[in-house]
Structure 1
């Protein structure tokens, strides 16, 4: 039984159909890299595509808001915890420069931003900048929250994960996505407290949410909903 099918599409670029054993209905979510569809086991592609067509226009409206746009010298990321911009440079290669204001990506002055390879290089540079900033910012914040609320964990890892903000293993290792640097501080804190709560409650049962509620002034579920609807800058 196929668990992942990728179909080229004129509007979304690609439609990724994933099978989930526990799924009972077809669900659709737009992402910058295309339309992601989750279906129950044994769903036929023809039926899935027919269902999609009835929602195509509505989904396209959502996709236009999140689709990847070309990066050029006008591009910048300015969040509470991360600042990044591009500047022309006399050098012939892409370099990162740390300043008191944030991180600058120095690009060759004659760079052609319409080139797909250039876009990949720039995005890779942004990801490196995110990981570098996350590596210096997130571990001390996690440690401070753990000390404040009486949690302990084995170690922390910074990842480039895009499908989840964080995770906690049974061994006590907390993994945090570098994309957390794009969140507002209150949502960043929520994710870190969420993962710290898993060091005591590994599932998402009532006791877990009671614990997380006690750490967020009873706002655990509303913060979760806000996070799900948040669209990061990159």
Structure 2
């Protein structure tokens, strides 16, 4: 991996793309994905793989890369006059430079004090704090209602999954779910709780999901239309 820079701009058939290089001792093959937040390509190299091998994979799948990047929604900047999402509701961001209250929600607007250049960082910190307060509590409530006993609830800023359940009963949720409607959150939580009994996506699993939530179809439709956009919300 010493021959590969951490990041570089690489020409492909459709233009130029930014590639971020990763190395992984556990990887068994070269992998490639699109980072929806940064809008760049991430190539992971296993031990012994060379940068040239990664570039060959990139160029062999340049059409897939170009199509994936073109489907990314515009990046949403958190700035004065912009908006944040909480439980699917839009709240206009209002800069209040003279205030000394930090960040607070009032009259349908998110007020952010301090210097203008810190609006994005403070708004993101506020959203993450809302996720920390709301999502684990909602998961535990649904778990109690269904008779489930997860061993741990963790929040992460994942790029490809909204949640996961490990064999030891630990559940992970993407914290950005706090921006989605509560019906979507309910479905994702039900999905992961169902994995506590079925570590697969077989018929029994989906039957259990449908018993745990009435929102599956609605949530799947919403995520197809808007899910990628949640990953594009953040500082420019």
Do they superpose with TM above 0.5?
Answer: yes
The residue number in structure 2 matching 1:185 is 182
The residue number in structure 2 matching 1:88 is 95
RMSD of aligned alpha carbons: 4.0
Q: Tell me if 1:227 matches 2:227.
A: no
- Measured in 1, the distance between the counterparts of 2:205 and 2:5 equals 34
- Measured in 1, the distance between the counterparts of 2:101 and 2:18 equals 30
- Measured in 1, the distance between the counterparts of 2:41 and 2:200 equals 24
Summarize the Cα distance change of 1:54–1:151 in structure 2 as closer, same or farther, 3 Å threshold: closer
Q: Tell me if 1:145 matches 2:142.
A: yes
Alignment check: 8 A CA contact 1:97 1:103 kept: yes
Alignment check: 8 A CA contact 2:19 2:43 kept: no
Q: Report the CA distance between 1:47 and its aligned residue.
A: 1.4
| Structure 2 unaligned blocks of 5 or more | none
* TM-score, scaled relative to structure 2: 0.67
> Of the two structures, which has the highest relative contact order with CA contacts closer than 8 Å and spacing of 6 or more?
2
Summarize the Cα distance change of 1:198–1:69 in structure 2 as closer, same or farther, 3 Å threshold: closer
Give the alignment partner of residue 18 of structure 2, picking from 14, 18, 41: 14
Q: SS of 1:74's equivalent?
A: coil
* TM-score, scaled relative to structure 1: 0.68
Summarize the Cα distance change of 1:104–1:49 in structure 2 as closer, same or farther, 3 Å threshold: same
Alignment check: 8 A CA contact 1:13 1:33 kept: no
Alignment check: 8 A CA contact 2:93 2:112 kept: yes
Alignment check: 8 A CA contact 1:85 1:105 kept: no
- Measured in 2, the distance between the counterparts of 1:71 and 1:223 equals 25
Q: SS of 1:151's equivalent?
A: coil
The residue number in structure 1 matching 2:192 is 195
Q: Tell me if 1:106 matches 2:103.
A: no
- Measured in 1, the distance between the counterparts of 2:109 and 2:140 equals 23
Alignment check: 8 A CA contact 1:78 1:84 kept: yes
Summarize the Cα distance change of 1:49–1:106 in structure 2 as closer, same or farther, 3 Å threshold: same
Give the alignment partner of residue 125 of structure 2, picking from 108, 125, 128: 128
Q: Report the CA distance between 1:178 and its aligned residue.
A: 2.0
Q: How many residues are paired up?
A: 216
- Measured in 2, the distance between the counterparts of 1:133 and 1:149 equals 24
Q: Report the CA distance between 1:181 and its aligned residue.
A: 0.9
Q: Report the CA distance between 1:76 and its aligned residue.
A: 0.5
